[in-house]
Structure formats: C-alpha cells, structure tokens
Amino acid sequence: MTSIKTATASESAPLIEMRDVVKRYGDFEALGGVSISVNSGQRVVVCGPSGSGKSTLIRCLNQLEKHDAGEIFIDGQRLSQLSASGLRKIRADVGMVFQQFNLFPHLTVLENLTLGPMRTRKLSEDAARKLALDHLEKVHIPEQANKYPRQLSGGQQQRVAIARSLCMEPKILLFDEPTSALDPEMIVEVLDVMVELASTGITMLVVTHEMGFANQVADTIVFMDGGKIVESNDPETFFSNPASERGRAFLKKILRH
Amino acid sequence: MSKRLSSIIGWGVFVGLVLIAWSFLRTLNWDDLAWYVVSPSTESGRQNLAFLMGGVKYTLLMSITAICISIVLGLIIALPGLSPSPNVRMINRVYVELVRAVPILVLIFWVYYGLPILHDDININVFWAGVIALALSDSAFEAEIFRAGIQSIDKGQLEAADSIGLGYFGRLRYVILPQAIRRILPPLGNQLVYMLKMSSLVSVIGMEELTRRANELVVSTYRPLEIYTVLVLEYLVLILIVSAGVRWLERKLQANESV
Ligand SMILES: Nc1ncnc2c1ncn2[C@@H]1O[C@H](COP(=O)(O)OP(=O)(O)OP(=O)(O)O)[C@@H](O)[C@H]1O
Ligand SMILES: [Mg+2]
C-alpha cells in the first residue's frame, strides 16, 4: 500500500483518494487494499503485468465496478454514500476513455459528442454542438463531424472518444489502455493528443504500456502487481532505478519490446 | 455410379412421381367444385367476396392494436429481466412462464367470459376481449425478444453510456434501444405475422373478422372448400404484405446505419 503525494499541492485536499480499496470477483481479490491519492492537475500512469488490477482500479474510480471495502473519495465526496443522481454527477466529472473506444455506432461523431452534454449536462443543442466542434478541433478531426464511427480509422475513433469525454468538461480523465487496440501507425496520433491534453492541466490517470508516453507526461508512475500497488515513483526514478524487484522485472520485460 | 446413370435414375423417379400424382388428381371430384360462389363475375359471387373481405379491417385493427399493446407491455416485462438482482429477475420469469403456458384460445375465453364475472362494471366487448387476450399472450414472447435483443448489446456500450452520466432511462432511450431495435425487428416481424394468424381464434367469441365471416358464409352456402380457399388466400396476402413491410423497415434501418 503506497500513497502518492506531490509537494506542489499537498496543502489542498486531493482530488482522488482511495483508502484500502478492496474489489473481489467471487473469491478472487482483484484489488487487495489499494490506497492512492491524486491531486488536481497530476498525471499518473498506472502500469503492471496483465491481470494486476489496473483496469479494476480505474473502473472503481467512476464506479463501473463497485468496490467491496475501503473508501473512495472524488473531490471530497465519498462514492459509497452517493445516491444514483449523485453518482451521475460524479461520472460527469470523471471522463473515461476505453481500450475499445466504445463509440455509439448508431450516432454520428457529432451526436456521440453532444449526447452527454445535452442529456446529462442539459445544454441546449446549439451549445452542445459548439462545444463538440471545439473539442473535435482539439483532437484534430473537425472534418469528421458528420461521419459514423465505423467510417473512421481506429486512431480517429479513439480521438473521437477522447473528445466525447472532454465534452463533459470533466475534472478527471481516466484512460484504460487507450492505444492497445490500435495499429502502430495510429498510436502516435492518439498519444500526441494525450500529450497536448496533459499540458492543459487536466488531472489524468492513464493505464498504458507506452513507457515513452509515461516518461514524457507522467509525474507519477504507479506500478501494480497482484491487485496491489507495489511501487509509486516519479518517472526518472522508476525507469532508471525501480525500488521493487518486481518493478525491475516488469520493466525488463516491457522495454525489450 | 456414373453421372449419366444417376441422372437417368433421377429423371425416372421424377417422371414416376408425376404419373402417380396425376392418377391421384384424376380421382378427385373436380366437377363438384363451385367457384361461382366466390366468383367476381356473378352478382352473388361479388357479394360473397365483399362479405369475406369485409373482415380484413377487423383482423388488421385487432392485430395491430394488440401488437402495439404487447410491445409496450413486453418492454415493461423485459426490463426487470435485465436486472442484476435475482429477485427482480424473478418478476420477469414468473410472468413469462405463466403467460406463455396459457393457450391463446383459453385466454380468449377467460377474458371474455371470465373477467366480467369479477366485477359488475367490467363489460368487455368482443373486440377488446380479443385484443387483450392476444396482447397478453404475445407480451410474454415480446418480453423475451426484447430481453435477448438488449442483452446482445455490447457491455462496452453500457459502460460508455454510464461514463457520460446517462441514467437508467437515458441509457435505454439513447444508447440501448436504438441499437437493439435492429436486432429486435426481425423476430418482431415474425410475432406480428403470428398475431395476424392467431387473431382468427377470436372468431369463436363472435368477432366478425376474416375467419368468422368465412364460417358464416360456409354455413349458408355449404361451400367450405371454395370459401376456405379464399380465406387462406386472404391470410396469405395479408402476411406477404406485412413481411414485405417489415423487410422494408429493416433495410431502411440498415441503410441509416451504413451511410
Ligand atoms: N468481471 C470479472 N469477473 C471475474 N474476474 C475478473 C473480472 N474482471 C477482472 N477480473 C480479474 O481481476 C483481475 C484483475 O483484472 P484487471 O482487468 O483489473 O487487470 P489488468 O491489470 O487491467 O490487466 P490487463 O493488462 O490484462 O488489462 C484479473 O485476474 C481478472 O481476471
Ligand atoms: Mg486492463
């Protein structure tokens, strides 16, 4: 169990806080008591071997998975105490980008982007459309607004998915292996967008195997194994001199590729 | 066996079957047929035909009303079936198993003759008794169709909907149903065809739809073969039209999706 604190904003309350969070699937403990705290503006990369609980961790943060024990606070609100509508508000504040994009195939790109703002944030259609076009611009595909997801390349789809999250104007963006389903030539265009996002100061939690991205963007690397956080460190230390033996072994394996 | 030999045998069998069929057809009483009872070329034939076809509007009205009600009812019954809670799912199971177990004809009797006894103010006419019985019976099947259609939607779609803060009904309305409808439509079309056919059962409580009229005409003309043949054709045409309509709708939805 490790907790992350940066010196920059330690006096203000953390934006995300997990305390001894446990998540079980049947008898299996996918998270075995995880504690982490992330301040506003922090960029955390979560890595670790397959099955170590990375997805489970970030899915608990917007309650796609309900945790079984421990506490999670987002912006000071305890998730386990929220009503359904309270949870919807939190989810509007916590954007999620999925490995498989999960765009809505029956809606155009623009409609994908305006759905949340119109139905959750109750913006007018005009306001939502303007917001959507703004964010499409930010992910560099304004010209695709009226196409359907299947008409786009994987990289473009993932950028639409990022824009869809941004249209909710979230405080936190979660990414679960956003480039793992992409062909190599498309990974860069998505990572570029994420790097640009990072520079806007939004709080990001990114599960990824892209260690170059982690090195460039993260201020903290969290290394997980067996449902626990084994180590959390700044990138320089983690990449040059990981504190844990398992971290070292993982890096050796992943950097060989 | 050579190809030539097998083709000779094939033709031999074919010719044999045709001969057998022919000698059988020759024994039938063709001369006893009296198509004039439904022939458009005679005055009484025209009257009979008009009488028979006059039932179409009731058959259609009853089937369409019933299917509309059963779709709404089916959706309401399907939703608890999708709940993570086993107790809530039980509501769906009990309804579906119970309603599915009752033959439609029995349901028609039960609604028409049974229900009014329950309360003095209940007075159901034949049309609504038929509609209620058909709709109830069909709703169990609709519920299963909806449940399967909704369950076939990728879990990632639900998660994406959740993550942009849509609630239960927003998720259903904007994400799940528009996608599920494409998968639901073909079995729904089947159900509509089934409903059209089952509406013939409502004739037993006196609904003046296609089958009832045919029966009445048979009683007065003693011409069952000719009249029931017309009846068969009436259902056939109705159902072909409905099938074509459903296929057209399917194509339209698909076209929308793949612009
Ligand atoms: N719905 C589920 N039911 C049962 N077990 C699950 C479920 N989801 C995850 N698990 C298990 O929990 C463990 C952690 O899963 P998780 O998806 O969080 O791992 P991960 O670190 O994201 O791995 P990967 O790199 O493969 O995505 C795995 O062993 C997985 O098999
Ligand atoms: Mg994962």
Report whether A74 contacts A90 (CB < 8 A).
yes
DSSP A8: T
Q: How far apart are CA A141 and CA A81, in angstroms?
A: 40
What is the percentage of chain A residues whose pLDDT exceeds 90? Answer: 91
Of A62, A104, A165, the CB nearest to B175: A104
Mean pLDDT across the stretch B29-53? 87
Instruction: Name the β-bridge partners of B174.
Output: none
- Ligand 1, from A54, A174, A229: best to mutate by most atoms within 8 Å of Cβ? A54
- B interface mutation test: which of A85, A90, A99, A104 has the most B CBs within 10 A? A104
Evaluate whether residue A4 is within a structural domain. no
Mean pLDDT across the stretch A79-95? 92
How many CA atoms are closer than 13 Å to the CA of A45, on its beta-carbon side? Answer: 26
What is the CA(B139)–ligand 2 centre distance, in A? 40
DSSP labels, A160-228 = HHHHHHHTT--SEEEEESTTTTS-HHHHHHHHHHHHHHHTTT-EEEEE-S-HHHHHHH-SEEEEEETTE
Q: How far apart are CA A191 and CA B237, in angstroms?
A: 59
- A228 Cβ closer than 6 Å to some ligand 1 atom: no
B154: nearest CA in chain A? A102
- pLDDT of A102 higher than 50: yes
Q: Please name each of the domains of chain B with its CATH number.
A: 43-258 (1.10.3720.10)
Evaluate whether residue A161 is within a structural domain. yes
- Contact check, Cβ <8 Å, B159/A102: yes
Evaluate whether residue A190 is within a structural domain. yes
Mean pLDDT score across all residues of chain A = 93
The secondary element (H helix, E strand) that includes residue A256 is: helix A245-256
Domain with residue A46: its CATH number is: 3.40.50.300
User: Which ligand 1 atom is nearest residue A65's CA?
Assistant: 1
- A59 Cβ closer than 6 Å to some ligand 1 atom: no
**Which residue segment(s) compose the domain that A181 sits in?**
16-254
| pLDDT value for B259 | 45
What is the CA(A102)–ligand 2 centre distance, in A? 15
Residue A45 three-state SS: strand
A&B contacts, CB < 8 Å:
71
Evaluate whether residue A218 is within a structural domain. yes
User: Among the listed ranges A182-191, B113-122, B130-139, which one has the minimum average pLDDT value?
Assistant: B113-122
- A56 Cβ closer than 6 Å to some ligand 1 atom: yes
| pLDDT value for B1 | 65
pTM above 0.90, yes or no: no
Contacts of A88 in chain B (CB under 8 A): 165-167
Of A105, A119, A148, the CB nearest to B170: A119
Question: Hey, CA dihedral for A210, A215, A221, A225, is it positive or negative?
Answer: positive
Evaluate whether residue A42 is within a structural domain. yes
| pLDDT value for A257 | 58
- pLDDT of B167 higher than 80: yes
Q: What is the nearest CA distance from A171 to chain B, expressed in angstroms?
A: 13
Mean pLDDT across the stretch A178-191? 95
For A126-167, how does the pLDDT look when each residue is reduced to its tens digit (9 = 90+)? 999 999 999 999 999 999 999 999 999 999 999 999 999 999
Q: How confident is the model at residue B258 (pLDDT cuts 50, 70, 90)?
A: low
Q: What is the nearest CA distance from B150 to chain A, expressed in angstroms?
A: 15
Question: What strand order describes the sheet that includes A43-47?
Answer: A94-97, A172-176, A203-207, A43-47, A220-225, A228-233
What is the CA(B141)–ligand 2 centre distance, in A? 38
Of A100, A121, A168, the CB nearest to B156: A100
Q: How far apart are CA A243 and CA A240, in angstroms?
A: 10
For A212-239, how does the pLDDT look when each residue is reduced to its tens digit (9 = 90+)? 999 999 999 999 999 999 999 999 999 9
Instruction: Name the β-bridge partners of A224.
Output: A229
Cα distances from A86 to residues A82, A89, A139, A222, B158, in angstroms, run 5, 5, 30, 29, 18
- Contact check, Cβ <8 Å, A106/B257: yes
| pLDDT value for A1 | 44
User: Among the listed ranges A172-176, B36-40, B58-62, B220-224, which one has the minimum average pLDDT value?
Assistant: B36-40
ipTM of the complex: 0.91
Contacts of B154 in chain A (CB under 8 A): 102
| pLDDT value for B256 | 66
Expressed in angstroms, the distance from the first to the final Cα of chain A is 29
Q: What is the nearest CA distance from A149 to chain B, expressed in angstroms?
A: 10
Residue B102 three-state SS: coil
Evaluate whether residue A8 is within a structural domain. no
| pLDDT value for A5 | 47
| Nearest alpha carbon, ligand 1 atom 5 | A25
What is the CA(A32)–ligand 2 centre distance, in A? 16
What is the percentage of chain B residues whose pLDDT exceeds 70? Answer: 98
Q: Which of residues 232-251 of A touch B (CB under 8 A)?
A: none
User: Which ligand 1 atom is nearest residue A57's CA?
Assistant: 18
What is the percentage of chain A residues whose pLDDT exceeds 70? Answer: 95
Contacts of B175 in chain A (CB under 8 A): 104, 115
Q: How far apart are CA A254 and CA A236, in angstroms?
A: 16
For A26-66, how does the pLDDT look when each residue is reduced to its tens digit (9 = 90+)? 999 999 999 999 999 999 999 999 999 999 999 999 999 99
Domain count for chain A, please give it. Answer: 1
Evaluate whether residue A241 is within a structural domain. yes
| pLDDT value for B254 | 77
Evaluate whether residue A1 is within a structural domain. no
Q: Which residues of B touch A (CB under 8 A)?
A: 154, 156-157, 159-168, 170, 174-175, 178-179, 257-259
Report whether A42 contacts A220 (CB < 8 A).
yes
For B147-158, how does the pLDDT look when each residue is reduced to its tens digit (9 = 90+)? 999 999 999 999
| pLDDT value for B123 | 81
Mean pLDDT across the stretch B82-107? 95
Q: What is the nearest CA distance from B91 to chain A, expressed in angstroms?
A: 23
Report whether B256 contacts A108 (CB < 8 A).
no
